[in-house]
Chain A
Amino acid sequence: MNVLIGILEEGLIYAILALGVLITYRVLDFPDLTVDSSFPLGAAVSAVLTVKGMNPLLTLVIAALAGGVAGLVTGIIHVKFKVRDLLSGIIVMTGLYSINLRIAGRANLPFFNMDTLFDNPFVDGFPAALRPWSKVIVVFVIVLAVKVLLDLFMNTKAGFLLRAVGDNRAVVTTLACDDGLVKIEGLVIANMLVALSGAVMAQKNRVFEISMGTGSMVFGLAAVIIGVNIFKNRQKVNSSTAAIVGSIIYKACVAIALSLGLMPQDLKLITAVLFLIILVLSGMKKKKVKFDA
């Protein structure tokens, strides 16, 4: 049961990041490497403000805004200065490393003795039976809020335009809209989500660490791909749910590999194999199982 709680905590926090990657990778078709730095950016902002005594919930909002600025910069570099998508992300990712260090003031900023998002008078008031699940509940509420807002947004006119940019740019241009602006908007939203995810992670871990973003882009991609593959034929399961589930499954794979007590050097390989098994299983079932959703 405890392992399950751990998987859900980690999986749900990274699910917010996966939702960000979903927007750039699946919707905009933009491989956005800004993610590896906007994740720790959110963590740095949240950690510094928490240490200064700000309400942890409020730090999440500011962290998300900071992430939005990072996405804005990547977008402007790509759209206005016509730098290739991958390179714009790399440029911002590289620069943000120094900015993150400046924001936090040091490479590792702990805040063990402060109230956090997960440890405050409100959460302490949960009934005893719910206490072990308190972190899961808090993250779940945040993920749910983010998912609902994102789904609502995707169904507005602006959301349709965003989807159109990835699928068929000509449509956007015929509608007399600037597809560059729409792209920038997508990057801003995506990086807001990624930074929010980083901020929540910092709140859970009670520490900001400069290297915490390494590999987060790859993680986000894997989560999105796993999720989307599992729900390939489900019209009713939308892609945001798929990304959230994908994130949880990925974390579960790591937990299994860890529980097996594997040699550390083999861990990534085992995770990759489990990842592959899920992809293959979900691909095979497509032929046999009827729709039931």
Chain B
Amino acid sequence: MKKFAKVLALVLALVMVFSFGCASAKTLTIGIAQFAEHPSLDNCREGFIAGLAEAGYVEGDNVKFVVHNAQADMGLTQQIAYQLAQECDMVCAIATPIAQAAVNACMDNGKPVIYTAVSDPVAAMLANAEGKSKLNVTGSCDLLPVEAQLKLIRSFMPDAKTIGILYTTSETNSESQLKLYESLAPQYGFEIVATGISTGADIPLAADSLIPKVHCLTNLTDNTVVSYLALIIDKANAAGKPVFGSEIEQVKNGCIASEGVEYIALGRQTGKMAAEVLAGAFAGDIPFYASEGGDMCYNPAVAAQLGIAIPEADLARGIDVTK
């Protein structure tokens, strides 16, 4: 057993040495656990840090951030959540899977968890029907302003009847967003045609079969689909059909318009909630914050290319992403 004992001792010694750096008594340590690398989630993180700073918790001054990214690896997600739950005074979890892991990891020690970029906190069991929790948990939700988006599509395309949606069957958020679209679309005279995929590799074929059946496409906040956005836009625009986005970054990248969530603002609001909790509030008593719809934005270059005239009213209220 001696050799094994030596290897194990070496490994454990390394663990102990490296875990020291994180526990400090004077400044507060806030762990940020991000599920994947993705512009929206990055914006959430930046907004969160800015929101805390505005409330008086400034990095390097009285708080320290430990940021980890799980790169969408579920095993790593659990380990990061656990480690931050031990080392930090508060955990900020960005996106649903890591929010659930963080809540679970903090369940025993009662440290506060602040989540953001969770589309459906109730379905994810992070909040009860009233938006609160028995656990020391609160946060913000990035549920799409679906109704506003449907209105937007109607005003851009008065004659359109069908909207195509690509979604990943393994993303719970996409599923709940899709249900919302399906229930609201008839009120605006639309029919939703959805195609589910299981991995990014399925997207080319799925897009080829979906595009001929619909008048336009709209995006959910589906991580897999959004990563292949360039391909989808190419195929749709080649067929003369526009793609509506779910946030500003997508419109910059070639979607015609979006009525999406503004993630920096969402993160900032989440940071302010975190500050309330740091000041002594019990997180579970604060209902989660739902984004009320962000700023409308449009891409005139794409609209011109597709021969779609942007209505005057939308030109006036929206943001031109090419400027």
User: Which A residues form the contact surface with B (CB < 8 A)?
Assistant: 2-4, 6-7, 9-10, 97, 101, 106-108, 110-113, 119, 131-132, 204-207, 209-212, 214-216, 219, 230-231, 234, 237, 245, 249, 251-256, 258-261, 264-265, 267, 278, 281-282, 285, 289, 292-293
Contact = CB atoms under 8 A, between A and B. Distances in A.
Interface in B68-126: 68-76, 78-80, 82-83, 86-87, 96-97, 100-101, 103-104, 107-108, 124-126
B12 A261 contact: no
A214 B74 contact: yes
Contacts of B124: 108, 110
Nearest to B82: A6
Contact of A249 (B11, B18, B82, B198): B11
B19 interface: yes
Contacts of A293: 1
A213 B207 CA distance: 27
B66 interface: yes
Contacts of A205: 78, 100-101, 104
B21 interface: yes
Interface in B1-41: 1-4, 6-8, 11-12, 14-16, 18-19, 21-22, 37
B76 A256 contact: no
B170 A107 contact: yes
Contacts of A265: 71
Contact of B78 (A10, A210, A231, A256): A10
Tell me which of A112, A231, A251, A252 has the highest count of chain B C-beta atoms within 10 A of its own C-beta: A112
Contacts of A260: 18
Interface in B276-319: none
B191 interface: no
A258 B11 contact: no
Interface residues of B, number: 53
16 contacts: A2-B19, A2-B86, A4-B15, A6-B86, A10-B78, A101-B170, A106-B172, A112-B135, A207-B97, A209-B74, A212-B74, A234-B3, A237-B4, A252-B15, A256-B15, A261-B21
A219 B75 contact: yes
B169 interface: yes
Nearest to B78: A205
Nearest to A214: B74
A230 B7 contact: yes
Chain A contact residues: over half helix, strand or loop, or mixed?
helix
Contacts of B101: 205, 207
Given A259-B19, A260-B18, 16 more contacts: A2-B87, A3-B15, A3-B19, A10-B78, A106-B172, A107-B172, A112-B100, A205-B100, A207-B97, A209-B97, A216-B75, A237-B1, A245-B4, A252-B11, A285-B6, A289-B2
A119 to B, nearest CB: 8
Contacts of B66: 261
Contacts of B6: 285
A234 B125 CA distance: 48
Contact of B79 (A108, A209, A255, A264): A255
B68 A258 contact: yes
Interface string B136-174: 000000000000000000000000000000000111100
B249 interface: no
B175 A256 contact: no
Nearest to B74: A212
B96 A256 contact: no
A104 to B, nearest CB: 10
A258 B12 CA distance: 14
Nearest to B1: A293
Contacts of B16: 3-4
A230 B7 CA distance: 8
Contacts of B76: 254, 267
A107 B108 CA distance: 26
A281 B124 CA distance: 45
A132 B108 CA distance: 9
Given A212-B74, A214-B74, A252 B12 contact: yes
A241 B104 CA distance: 29
Given A110-B100, A258-B79, A253 B11 contact: yes
